[in-house]
Amino acid sequence: MSNARRSSAPTLEDVAQIAGVSRALVSLVMRNSPRVSSESRRRVTDAATKLGYRPNLMARNLAARKTMTIGVLLNDLHNPWFAEVTDGIHDAAEGHGYQLILASGRRTPRLESRALDTFLASRVDGIIVAGCRLPAARLDAVATEVAVVSVGRALPKTSVGSVTTDDAFGARLAVEHLYELGHRRIAHIDGGKGAGALPRRSGYLRTMRTLGLSDKAQVVAGDFTEEAGARGAERLFRGQVLPTAIFTANDLSAVGAIDVVERRGLDVPDDISVVGFDNTSLAALNHIGLTTIDQPRYEMGAAAATMLIDAINDRGALSDVSMAPSLIVRRTTARAAKAQQPATRSRQRSSVIRAAPTAPARSPSEAKTS
């Protein structure tokens, strides 16, 4: 560390001056227009580098009436799901010459709302909201001013486009998987008001009903965080009968729930099976080996960006696309024990034994770690 800072950045005018040409010519060169003689081009670029000239984006965007920028609102930087979706958005946007500006909502509607205001004030050409929890009406209002697409949450009856997975079907896959393993008492720790939480919850309930398990269905409140998963599991332990399986609204919650189960001296999956949702990198960690429902996160991000950019350029309308989820079986689910009720149920954290599945690894279809 030491010091030095510029006084005032050079402008187009400065460059034009020392290159001995007009401002318009410099402008053309900066946007590398083909209709410039190579001689002029050289003189301009020379002058520019000599001055350390850098076009002022604000001035450019103000004059051009577009920004070639898309604002991306991420609900929770702590959840790897968002990183993975963002990669997809990034690559697709870059391919079309668009820049990204990211904002973090920190799972707080107030901050999400403010971030949207900033995007609008910055006149971004389009907005992608990922896992956004804001009311549909709010998003629809934003969509009045600029094209918006939502990832991870459908917004029917609004002008907001969406790319989601079929959450209800994903929930069904999870429940059916557990059912086939012999589980009946299957609980669900939900995602509260989070994006996609509702269809996952109703998908769970519907499937339980279809399987004739309505009386055994049990939903506890969560919010897509690890802490919520832990709290949810604690809640289950406080109940009369313990479930033999837990289906959580996302991977983060699943990890929280597993911790609690093991802390209670029970084993996953021998005593209680757990299925997550998302198939984030977290689930894929071999050390966690979470059975979960895969969402094609990267592809979802890419699809959202492509749809948005097409809409911006009037090459297509916003729509609602739903991608197929799939079951990824790893090591947190196993055949239900004979006894409906797990054997041990010590309260204190006796030495925690995490054994491998007794059965040989069931189709360890380790999907791409993204």
Partner DNA sequence: GTGAAAGCGCTAACAA
Partner DNA sequence: TTGTTAGCGCTTTCAC
Tokens 């939900």 appear where? Answer: 190
> Does the footprint of DNA cover residue 129 (CB under 7 A)?
no
Q: What is the DSSP string of 59-107?
A: HHHHHHT---EEEEEES-TTSHHHHHHHHHHHHHHHHTT-EEEEEE-TT
Look at residue 158 and give the partner it binds from DNA, its own copies, none, a contact being a CB closer than 5 to 8 Å depending on partner kind: its own copies
Q: Which of residues 174-203 bind its own copies (CB under 8 A)?
A: none
**What sign does the dihedral 71-77-81-87 (CA atoms) show?**
positive
From the list 111, 106, 117, 119, the residue with the least C-alpha distance to 70 is: 119
> Does the footprint of DNA cover residue 314 (CB under 7 A)?
no
Q: Which of residues 38-57 bind DNA (CB under 7 A)?
A: 39-41, 53, 55-56
Q: How far is CA 292 from the centre of its chain?
A: 16
Look at residue 103 and give the partner it binds from DNA, its own copies, none, a contact being a CB closer than 5 to 8 Å depending on partner kind: its own copies
Closer of 97 and 360 to DNA (Cβ): 97
Closer of 49 and 340 to DNA (Cβ): 49
**What sign does the dihedral 294-332-192-114 (CA atoms) show?**
negative
Look at residue 241 and give the partner it binds from its own copies, DNA, none, a contact being a CB closer than 5 to 8 Å depending on partner kind: none
**10 Å Cβ neighbour count for 150?**
28
Closer of 41 and 78 to DNA (Cβ): 41
Q: Which of residues 1-60 bind its own copies (CB under 8 A)?
A: 1-6, 9, 52, 54-59
Of positions 28, 93, 103, 197, contacts DNA by CB under 7 A: 28
Stretch that binds its own copies, among 31-39, 200-208, 234-242, 284-292 (CB under 8 A): 284-292
How far, CA to CA in Å, does 110 sit from each of 102, 103, 105, 113, 115? 16, 13, 8, 5, 9
Of positions 4, 7, 32, 35, contacts DNA by CB under 7 A: 35
Look at residue 339 and give the partner it binds from DNA, its own copies, none, a contact being a CB closer than 5 to 8 Å depending on partner kind: none
User: Using a CB cutoff of 8 Å and minimum separation of 24, what contacts does 292-296 make?
Assistant: 292/251, 292/254, 292/328, 292/330, 293/170, 293/171, 293/173, 293/174, 293/325, 293/326, 293/327, 293/328, 294/325, 294/326, 294/327, 294/328, 294/367, 295/81, 295/165, 295/170, 295/323, 295/325, 296/165, 296/323
Of positions 45, 60, 159, 310, contacts DNA by CB under 7 A: 60
**Size of residue set near DNA by CB under 7 A:** 29
Look at residue 117 and give the partner it binds from its own copies, DNA, none, a contact being a CB closer than 5 to 8 Å depending on partner kind: its own copies
Of positions 156, 238, 240, 339, contacts its own copies by CB under 8 A: 156
Look at residue 21 and give the partner it binds from DNA, its own copies, none, a contact being a CB closer than 5 to 8 Å depending on partner kind: DNA
Look at residue 78 and give the partner it binds from its own copies, DNA, none, a contact being a CB closer than 5 to 8 Å depending on partner kind: its own copies
**10 Å Cβ neighbour count for 69?**
19
> Does the footprint of DNA cover residue 122 (CB under 7 A)?
no
Q: Which of residues 121-140 bind its own copies (CB under 8 A)?
A: 121-123
> Does the footprint of its own copies cover residue 283 (CB under 8 A)?
no
